[in-house]
Structure formats: structure tokens, C-alpha cells
Amino acid sequence: MTNTIKTNQLHILTLNNQTYIPFQPHTLPSYFNNIPLSSIINYKSYTYINIKSLKQSLKYYTNNLTFNKHLSPNLLHQK
């Protein structure tokens, strides 16, 4: 099996049927430390994160988001 890298105009990378989303160093997500290193690739000044790992890391944040302004401050998500 050969490794094939395919990119498109948005710099989305496809490697062995896995999709990687590009980030520039100053736009890395705040939860970057929680993503396993096996899901991260550095290529041509972009940091690519596997979309599956990205979605798994986002589950915590999407499940804890609320738009209720009447909640007490101690119930709101703290970084």
C-alpha cells in the first residue's frame, strides 16, 4: 500500500482515506493538547488534525454548551 497525499483548494488533506483539517499555528484550537499525537500531521507550515479526533475532542464542548443566560455562573462551563 502506498501513501498518497491529496489536497484541495482549501488545503484539506486526504491521506489513506482519512481526512485531515488544516490549522495555522496561531489558529490552533484551545483543546489542541487533548488530541493524540498520532492524529496530528505537520506539513507545509500547516498543522493537520484528523477529523475523527477533532470530532471526539469536540464532544465534550458541544455537550456542555448552553445559551441560557439565566444560569448561575457556577454552572457555566469554565476553561
Per-residue pLDDT of the chain (79 residues; tens, 9 = 90+): 567 677 667 788 888 888 888 889 888 888 888 889 999 999 888 999 998 888 787 765 555 545 555 555 555 555 4
End-to-end CA distance of the chain: 43
The model's pTM? 0.65
Residue type, 76: L
| Cβ atoms of residues 47 and 57 within 8 Å | no
